């Protein structure tokens, strides 16, 4: 057998194996990256400013995909009204109520940290959490397995609420 043919044959086999593993690794990473969908929101009473501070944390591309799907646009940070659409999305899909009345949530801003998006809101003049109703369906229409956790903290108590496609509303009670 020709030595050049044997060398090429061995090399092409190694090359094919390398390509197979690279493709397999790429697809398994994509699948793993989208296996779980979750978001975290923190509600904290700030007694000095007499407000409830709200911090949301979500994966950037999950939120961008949801907005792109709903708006039927190619949505990315280069989009002219990027922050405005994110703000509108949060205002539509996250609400706090007291006595069946929506509490006004002021938009503080957003920031990116690696692949996470942090959204900051504030409910001014609100000094308590007990009895508030939280409505949270962030990303649940786009990702049916989306789980959103809202952690809350006051001087007297703390707890968590869990939201999903089937559980979109919950009330903060002292024994959560």
Dihedral angle computed from the Cα positions of residues 121, 101, 67 and 162, in that order, rounded to the nearest 10 degrees = 80
- From the list 36, 58, 38, 41, the residue with the least C-alpha distance to 172 is 41
The predicted pLDDT at position 174 comes to 75
pTM of the full predicted structure?
Answer: 0.79
- For the cut 70, the answer to whether the pLDDT of residue 4 exceeds it is no
CA 17 from centre of chain: 37
- For the cut 60, the answer to whether the pLDDT of residue 37 exceeds it is yes
- So where are the chain's domains? 1-35, 36-171
Written out in words, the top-level CATH class of the domain with range 36-171 is alpha beta
- Can you tell me the distance from the alpha carbon of 66 to that of 45, in angstroms, rounded to the nearest whole number? 30
- From the list 148, 144, 104, 147, the residue with the least C-alpha distance to 126 is 104
The predicted pLDDT at position 31 comes to 40
pLDDT band at 147 (very low <50, low <70, confident <90, very high): very high
The model's pLDDT over 76-129, given as tens digits with 9 standing for 90+, comes to 999 999 999 999 999 999 999 999 999 999 999 999 999 999 999 999 999 999
The predicted pLDDT at position 91 comes to 97
- For the cut 70, the answer to whether the pLDDT of residue 158 exceeds it is yes
């Amino acid at each position: 057998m020709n030595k050049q043919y044997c060398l090429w044959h061995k090399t092409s086999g190694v090359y094919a194996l390398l390509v197979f593993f690279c493709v397999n690794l790429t697809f398994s990473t994509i699948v793993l990256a989208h296996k779980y969908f979750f978001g975290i929101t923190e509600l904290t009473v700030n007694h000095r400013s007499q407000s409830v501070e709200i911090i949301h944390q979500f994966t950037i591309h999950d939120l961008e995909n949801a907005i792109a799907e709903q708006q039927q646009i190619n949505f990315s940070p280069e989009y002219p009204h990027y922050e405005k659409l994110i703000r509108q999305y949060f205002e539509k899909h996250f609400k706090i109520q007291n006595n069946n009345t929506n509490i006004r949530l002021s938009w503080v801003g957003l920031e990116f940290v690696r692949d996470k998006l942090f959204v900051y809101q504030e409910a001014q003049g609100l000094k308590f959490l007990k009895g508030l109703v939280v409505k949270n369906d962030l990303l649940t229409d786009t990702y049916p397995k989306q789980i959103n956790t809202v952690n809350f903290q006051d001087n007297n108590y703390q707890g968590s609420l869990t939201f999903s496609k089937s559980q979109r509303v919950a009330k903060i009670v002292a024994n959560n």
